[in-house]
Amino acid sequence: MDKVKVSLIGAGNMANNVHYPSLVEFQDVEIKGLCDLVEEKLKKTAEKFNISKTYTDYKKMIEETNPDAVYILMPPHHLFDIVIFCLQQGLHVFIEKPPGVTKEQTRQMANLAEKKNCLTMVGFQRRFAPVMIKAKEEIEKRGQILQCQANFFKNYIDQPPYYNGAIDILTCDAIHSVDILRWIAGEPKKVVSSVRNLFSIYDNSFNAFIEFENGAIGFLSTNWVSGKRIYSVEMHGKGIVCFVDPEKEAVIYKDGKEEAIVLKTEEIAGSKELFKYAGFYFENRHFIDCIKNRKLPQTNFYDALKTMEFVDKIYHSQF
């Protein structure tokens, strides 16, 4: 396959800011069409990325453009029917996180993808951020990661529930931290959690203590009533610790020494563009390469199901 033919569903912010800028840089990708119900957004996005064929009916677009793969960049409660239709046509599918509203939706999408021999991917882009990968590699040079923590805080006080209540914060957004803990330490064995609603009519604080199958210990620390948006990760190994802000730097300390090794995010990624150093470019590259090589993507639907099951454990393991 010299070029992967891709059709696009969705002309929102994530599509415009991180995914489509990645795809247009790939010489081995041919964008065949774009679909969105909002014609103003559709026209603006098509002009921005030089997409000649536009549609407001995704089924018509797929029939006329005959793509190899479809990007479905929609709110989570609008995903399922579109994903199922595309899989039924035998198309490879990329979606943003979360992979649906419930783990059962994710399971059924994964089952159908396997039945139809479709390659799938969910956009957990922090796994693909170059500074995150480099930091993890540095810890693992000393052996197994022994302890890890994922922190995610936002100031979302007096705000409405996500999508007017169609989905909860942990499944929709804080899932990034849940998934990165799986990426760092593997599958959870035991979970003890606290889920709270602080100054709110919906849950907005999610904290958990995790024992992983390999014996590592993990901590999830998130709330949406903090002072500002902060996403950070820490990883501990034998005689080494790393503190990572994926959009800024990774700071590594070894063997009790005061001086740190500092990995600058933009330098490691070789770019000052957020969609590159934050991992979006590289996850899209991974998806396209997997299609060309008939290889299962790292964050395929079955893998995403494990993250959704981890979310479920957090809700059902409260002390």
The predicted pLDDT at position 267 comes to: 98
Fold of 127-271+301-315: Dihydrodipicolinate Reductase; domain 2 (3.30.360)
* Phi, psi dihedrals of residue 214, rounded to the nearest 5°: -85, 5
Would 4-126 and 127-271+301-315 be classified into the same CATH topology? no
Distance CA 283, CA 127 (A): 8
The predicted pLDDT at position 271 comes to: 97
Among left, alpha and beta (phi > 0; psi -120 to 50; other), residue 165 is left
Sheet containing 4-9: which strands, arranged edge to edge? 54-55, 29-35, 4-9, 69-72, 92-96, 120-123
Distance CA 57, CA 224 (A): 36
DSSP-assigned beta bridge partners for residue 245: 249
Distance CA 208, CA 220 (A): 5
Looking at domain 4-126, its CATH architecture is: 3-Layer(aba) Sandwich (3.40)
The predicted pLDDT at position 107 comes to: 98
The predicted pLDDT at position 188 comes to: 98
Match 């934050």 to its residue by tokens.
Answer: 278
The predicted pLDDT at position 1 comes to: 72
Q: What is the mean pLDDT of each run of 10 residues along the chain (319 residues)?
A: 94 97 98 97 97 98 98 97 98 98 98 98 98 98 97 98 97 98 98 98 98 98 98 98 97 98 98 97 98 98 98 97
Measuring CA to CA, how many Å separate 213 from each of 187, 193, 200, 216, 315?
A: 6, 17, 35, 7, 19
**Closest to 211 in 3D by CA, of 305, 148, 124:** 148
Buried b (16+ CB within 10 A) or exposed e, 214-247: eebebbbebbbbbeeeebbbbbbbeebbbbbebb
Distance CA 300, CA 113 (A): 10
Domain ranges of the chain: 4-126, 127-271+301-315
Please check whether residue 33 is in contact with residue 8, taking contact to mean a CB–CB distance below 8 angstroms: yes
Match 């979310």 to its residue by tokens.
Answer: 311
SS3 track for 2-21: CCEEEEEECCCHHHHHHHHH
**pTM (predicted TM-score):** 0.96
**Closest to 206 in 3D by CA, of 221, 188, 189:** 221
Q: Could you tell me the sign of the dihedral formed by the alpha carbons of 106, 100, 246, 288, in that order?
A: positive
